[in-house]
Structure formats: C-alpha cells, structure tokens
Amino acid sequence: MRRFIGRYGLVRRRAMLTMVLGAVAVPGLALAEVKSLPRSHGKRTLTIVPYAGTEAPGTIIISNERRILQRVLPGGKAEQYEISVGRDGFGWTGVTRVGRKAEWPAWRPPAAMRQRDPSLPDYVPPGPYNPLGARAIYLYSNGRDTLYRIHGTNSAETVGGYETSGCFRLSNADVMELFEKVANGTKVIVF
C-alpha cells in the first residue's frame, strides 16, 4: 500500500484519490449537500395477465385510471407493470408511437414545466439524480416528440401514484427490462 506524506501527515493512496475525484466530480458542492446514491433499482412489478383485446403483440397499453402499463403478448396474454401517471390536471389520452429510446438519459425540463417551477434547472445530466432514471422511451405523434416519456425513476417509492406531469414512471428495474423489449415505432395507447 502506497502512502503519501501530505500537509496532514500520512494519507493512503485510495483516500487521496477519493478526495481528489470527489472534488472534480462535484466542484463547489459541499459533501453535506450530496444526496446518497440509490443502491437499488426498485422492485420488479412484472406480472403476466390475461389479455382479451385485439391489439397486436408488442403494443403498449397504458391505463391512467388503473396506473398500469401492459405490453401485449401472443396467445391472449400481456405483461403488466405498475406505473405512476399524471397528477390531477396532467393526465392525457391518445395513441402515440415510440420515437426513440435512451439509456441513462439527460433531461431538459420543458419550458412550461420550468415556468410552473422556476427552481428547475435548464439541464440535468444523466445519472442517479436525473428524474428520468435509468431508461427513457420517448413518445412521438406524427413524427414529432410529444415531450411525454415512459421512464424510470431513482425514487422507486413514488411508483404507483398520481405523481407526474404526464409521463409514465416505472421503477428502474422495470423500465430497464421493458426497454429491451420495445422497438422504435411501437404503438402506445393511453386511455
């Protein structure tokens, strides 16, 4: 083990690297202000349920009222996940398509959201403090971004309620699994 003699005596190399990298990673931020990192991706809520509808396999169906997302499977079945949906005044319905997907996405709060809450930053980099979580599935209509997402969260305890500004929030564990199964162009029905 290498040791260095510094201003305050002997310092282990690992401790020195931790101090230096911490200062570089979050310049100007006191250690007391840094939130703890999430150590879990949240619970998995996937269940296989009967599906009696007529939508093609792969279609995503979201129920605002039941706070569930279903992905249609062949043979009269669907995968079902627990989700959070838009709080009062922010729910919506319609048919969209998956326009793009991102792993550990960055987030730029829309102007209307920043107007409602001026404390929001212009940009949140990817990582454990980003409200989009581990994955984001971007919903498009007529080739244009709707600004709505199916995404994860680093606060898994918020899944299952009326919490969002119109997006659909899953635990990171669930969204990482769903992300791998969904292709660009997938039909998404919200009711």
Give per-residue pLDDT as tens, 39-77: 678 899 999 999 999 999 999 999 999 999 999 999 999
What is the full DSSP assignment across 148-177?
A: EEEE--S-GGGTTSEEESS-EE--HHHHHH
CATH superfamily entry for domain 47-190: L,D-transpeptidase catalytic domain-like (2.40.440.10)
pLDDT of residue 3: 46
Distances (CA, A) of 121 to 106, 110, 114, 163, 182: 12, 10, 8, 19, 30
pLDDT of residue 188: 98
Paired strand residues for 73: 77
pLDDT of residue 14: 43
Task: Count other Cβ atoms within 10 Å, centred on residue 106.
Answer: 13
Tokens read off for 150: 């199916």
Residue intervals of the chain classified under CATH 2.40.440.10 are 47-190
| Low-confidence residues of the chain: pLDDT under 50 | 1-33
pLDDT of residue 128: 82
pLDDT of residue 163: 87
Catalytic residues: 151, 167
